[in-house]
Amino acid sequence: MAFFDPLITESATKGFYVVFLINSDAQTISLSMNQGTTAVYNDFGSVRGRDVLRRRARDMVDRVPEFAKLFSEDPIDLGSEAGLPTGYQAGHAFGKTYHAGMLTDEILQEDLHNMLLAYEALVNRGGTIPSDIMQEESGGKDIEETRRYILSRRIERSSKVRKAVLKAKQPICECCGLDPKLDYGYGGRTHNTPLEVHHAKPLRGLSEGETRRYRIPEDFTLLCPSCHRMIHKTEDPSNLSKLKQMLRFKIARDTSYFLP
């Protein structure tokens, strides 16, 4: 059994998540903050991949130390030398192992509650993305602003969010008016259209631990890549009107404009 935040993953093969892992020989169950092994193995191979998983597991502990201390950082034993079990052993950040007969509903509820709070905090703080990468992407903001920026970008890049927004909105840039069908002759599927989803609801007032709620399509704007990049360089990335005032060009659709 695993618990996925859809902003991070919807599959046990990638990302990081909370999971129960079983060692049938030792009759133990481990509640674990863990990582998708398959994607890492595909990128780095099994031997190097396990080193990558161990390093990221250490980073996860360091990012949520107040939650990690509620659990154990000791290695887990899944009783197998096969690829996936050894990957999960390497990807284990912290957790708790229960022996058969000691797992009561009361213990399970308390530990799972704390682990899910740890998961939420880890997502809010950037997950496994190194701090220097986060700050570079966010433009050198302070750490709290950086974390909120990364969270906002995760929301924008969620495939589920993207599909829902594109289904609800007309596929045209809401700033400059670029229409991929008219201006590029795009004829592919709507969810592949060359427009980007922008999370327009400010996260500045969102405290850590506060539920991340968003409404589709009200909290999102469709932008072309240029306008999307530019709005993130403004002081208030939620202010579409301000970005429109900054425009110094118009989309020309008169075909004679392009003739010699």
Q: pLDDT tens digits, residue range 15-41? A: 999 999 999 999 999 999 999 999 999
DSSP-derived letter for residue 66 is H
Give pLDDT, residue 139: 65
Q: Any residues with CB less than 8 A from the CB of 61 and at least 6 apart, and which?
A: 68, 73, 93, 94
DSSP string, the chain: -EE--TTT-SSTTSSEEEEEEEETTTTEEEEEEEE-HHHHHHHH-HHHHHHHHHHHHHHHHHHSHHHHTTSB-S----S--SHHHHHHHHH--EEEEEETT---HHHHHHHHHHHHHHHHHHHHTTTTS-HHHHHHHHTS--HHHHHHHHHHHHHHH-HHHHHHHHHHS-SS-TTT---HHHHH---S-GGGSS-EEEE-S--TT--TTS-----TTTTEEEE-HHHHHHHTTSS-TT-HHHHHHH--------GGGG--
Confidence grade of residue 255 (pLDDT, cut at 50, 70, 90): low
CB atoms within 10 A of CB 113: 10
Q: Is 78 helix (H, G, I), strand (E, B) or coil?
A: coil
Which of residues 128 and 54 earns the better pLDDT score? 54
pLDDT above 90 (res 52): yes
Q: Return the residue matching tokens 């289904």.
A: 167
Q: What's the first-to-final CA gap in the chain, in angstroms?
A: 64
The average pLDDT across 227-237 equals 90
Distance CA 184, CA 83 (A): 46
Q: pLDDT tens digits, residue range 155-183? A: 888 888 899 999 999 999 999 999 999 99
Give pLDDT, residue 124: 87
Which of residues 255 and 243 earns the better pLDDT score? 243
Confidence grade of residue 202 (pLDDT, cut at 50, 70, 90): low
Furthest-apart CA atoms within the chain: distance in Å: 82
Give pLDDT, residue 235: 85
Q: What are phi and psi of 21, to 5 degrees?
A: -120, 140
Contact 18, 3 (CB under 8 A): yes
Contact 161, 216 (CB under 8 A): yes
Mean predicted lDDT score pLDDT of the chain: 88
Distance CA 213, CA 193 (A): 26
Residue 85 is encoded by which pair of tokens? 């079990």
Reported pTM: 0.73
